[in-house]
Structures are given as C-alpha cells and as structure tokens.
Amino acid sequence: MENAFFIGVHIGAGFHSTKKSKEYNSLMKRSLERASSLLKEGKDALFAVKEAIKVLEDDPLTNSGTGSNLTEEGTIECDASLMTNQLGGEGNEGAFASVGSLSHIKNPIELVYLLLKDEQKGRLPLGRIRPIFLVGEGATKWGLRHGLERVTNESMISESALKTWKDHSERVKRNQEKQIKKSVQNESGSKKRKEMEKIEGDDKKEEGNKNKMEDIEYDEYDTVGAICLDGSGMVAAGVSSGGISLKHCGRIGEAAHYGSGCWAKSLDVDHQFACCTTGAGEQIMKSMLSYQLLQTIEDHLKNKEEDNHLGESLINLFEKKFLCNRTTPSKEETASPELEKRFGGLIALSSEEINKEEDGKKEFRVEFGWGHTTESMGVGFYSSSMQKPFVTISRIEKESKGAGYCVQIGGKIMFLDFVFFLLKVINKSERNHCLNKTNFQKKKKKKKKKKQKKRKRTRPNTNTSINHI
C-alpha cells in the first residue's frame, strides 16, 4: 500500500442550517480531496493540514479567512495555529506556531506555516530565539517580509458577515439606549430629560422589536480545523478562526493559544495523537481542551486501556473537564455552576503503528472521533483505505437536554487498509449535565467479544463501505 494517510477536518461548532447542508458537505469534501491529493504525491502531514485549512479559509461559508466575523469596528482580525510531532527549535515538545489578531493576510494559516518552518531552523545569529507567536501589525509585517501579499480589509468581508455585523451592532445600540433610559428615570435635571425625550422617539421602533431576541446568539463559533497522519508516522494539527462576532479589537481566541486550539504529539514509539478544537474561545482557553484530551489519552495508555481509548477519553474529557467546569460567573449569584452553558467541540485522532512491512512501509490502526456540545458541528475525514471522503453535520439528539448541557460523540476506528468498525455514539446526559455512561458500558461489553473475533479474521482485499452515523 502506497502513501498511507488519514486526514480529518471540521468547519466549526455552533448551528448549521439544514438548508446549507449540501454546501457545507461540498466544502469539506473539497478540503479533504485537496489534502489527500497532496498526501498521495508524498507531501507530509503538516503541509496537507495547511492546504486543507486554506480551502476552508477561502470559502465565505466558514468563520475563517475570507468571510470571518467582524470586530466592533467592522474589521477582520484572525487567529490561527499549527502543531506537529516533529521537534521544534526550542524544547522537547512538537513544533508549534501561531498568530493572533492578524489583519490584511488572506490565509492566516499560510503565515503560521512559514513561522513554524522558520522556527525549526534553530536560533538566529548571536543566539537570538526565533518567534513562534506573533500578533497584530507585527505579524502582518513578518508575513510581508516572507513573501505574503497584503490584501485590503474590504476584500475579505463577505456579504453575510457584514449583514451579521450590522444586525449585532444595532442590537448593542438598542441595549445602550435602553440603559440610558433607565438611568434617566432615576435622575433629575433638564439635560437628562432632553436625552430621555430624544430616546422616546425610538420607543415605537423598539416596541416593534420587543419579541426579537436581543441577546447575540452566535450561529457558528470560532475555528475551522484539520488533523492528519501520513505514511511516515508524522501527525499534524491546525486551526484558523475569525473569532466571535463583534469582538473587541485585539481579542485573541483559543485558535492561537498553545494547549487550547490544537495539539499533535508522539505519545511513544508506536502511538501518535492529534486534535483541534472549536467553540467559545474563553471557555476553551480556561479548560485547555486540546491539552486536557492529550492528558486523558496518556492516562488510558499508562493504564494499558488499549481498546477504544479515544472514545473513552472523549467521554471523560467532556464529562469531567468541560461540561462541569465553571469558568465564568453566572448571572445570578446563587446559581449553581451547572447552569452555565458550555459550548465547545473537537476532532481527534489516535494512531498506533501495528506493523512494518518488508519494504519499510508502515501500517496503522487509527481511531478518529469528534464531540460537540453545540447544536451541530460539521465533520469530515478521508483515508487511504477509503474510496471517497466521508462528511456529516453531526447534531445533538432532540431528546437530550440541549446545546450547552450535553455532548454528542461519534467517530470511527480503522486500519489504513480497510475500515474496521464504528465508534459508538453517545448523546445522553445525566441530571448534573455529565454524560450517562451506563448504556455505553453495557454496549461495550457486548461488542468486546465480537471485536476480538473480527481481529482474527483475514482482512478483506477490498475497501468496506463507510456507514453514516
């Protein structure tokens, strides 16, 4: 088997309209096909991840690159990062690079790629350390010096993003006027009364919108992402984001933060890991979601819990590290931590080298999984064992407690010469907003004997079909 590979992508967690499902799926397929074509040519995992994300950045459907959410001032500021299990110029961890609040660069992930490759060269003359995290105008200048083109802010603004910005800005304005009105009612003075008279002229307009939700509900949170394993055993992960709508200029989300946006690492000689996240940046940063998943998987491996360790790790991550982790104060002082909605999602792969053939080519067992606490999340993957990409819009079950309070988990386990079996889907939550693992554990015991029998069977020569979850 030539050029074994696995590539997975996501287009963000939030709410994805069923009317646009075909467009979302088409975009993910194009991203996966672009990356797979390069992997088949012998390009490495890092380059493939970068190119997959560029396809997503260039499409206004996503909140990254062109079409990104706008800041309070109506400008675009992007965050992005990349990581690989190859060593960087400093330290013993994998190479990492990121940018934050980046403007005037069409593809932020391209700048990050150049930054990471530059850092791998080692120190500058006189022992100067190369940067791995650049922000703002300094990041833009670095990119221009390294051959990237400067583009205008207007060229990256989509009609949809501009429409959303105008709507959200209007809501903020109405809220501010409402607050002034309340303060005027409690104060005296002719000046304040004049302000009140001016505001009263807009009362009818406000009354017409009284049934409209004033809180800004974000349809799609930060970040698109990709993870990849190539035939040499190299893994890479990357993310790119336009940030939340109407963010303060200079705000940097999880996509640029080490340990939050993405992670890629060799766990030992035979095991590799990669993941990338999406969701409410402030919640993910305080939870360090990608790094916490790494820690959970390492614990499973140390305890020799080999079977389905990615699936179990995803359950433990969302149950113990995210859904029940309070990071922001509640509106009511007496409210319990469980009342806070938690919005996040991720995709991850865990691979094991199981055989090295006589010609030196490696064979891998790959677990791929995803989880999200939002209404939906667009996910896709493609491997050298598959005839075509698999894409889906994963959605939380209707009978669950709802977005922010439970998690939907799914995925697949495969060898890179044929698909092995489905990873179970978990969609129930307990009273304390954690996952109900009872049904999962019962199913796992029943499946364990079947799985052992399957391993003894001769592997088929043809690819098996991919079943929808």
Supply the residues annotated as catalytic.
223
User: What sign results for the dihedral spanned by CA atoms 282, 287, 293, 295?
Assistant: positive
Q: State both tokens at 336.
A: 């319990």
Please state the φ and ψ torsions of residue 455, each to the nearest 5 degrees.
Answer: -65, -25
Q: Is 203 exposed, middle or buried (0-12, 13-18, 19+ CB in 10 A)?
A: exposed
CA distance 158 to 420: 42
CA distance 177 to 387: 58
Please state the φ and ψ torsions of residue 177, each to the nearest 5 degrees.
Answer: -65, -35
CA distance 141 to 136: 9
Q: Which amino acid is at 142?
A: W
CA distance 335 to 320: 20
- The terminus-to-terminus CA distance of the chain in angstroms comes to 28
CA distance 30 to 439: 37
Measured CA distances, 429 to 94, 308, 318, 409, 439 (Å): 35, 20, 11, 12, 11
CB atoms within 10 A of CB 176: 10
Q: Choose among 106, 92, 193: nearest CA to 153.
A: 106
Chain centroid to CA 110: how far? 18
Q: Which amino acid is at 293?
A: L
CA distance 11 to 25: 10
CB atoms within 10 A of CB 227: 32
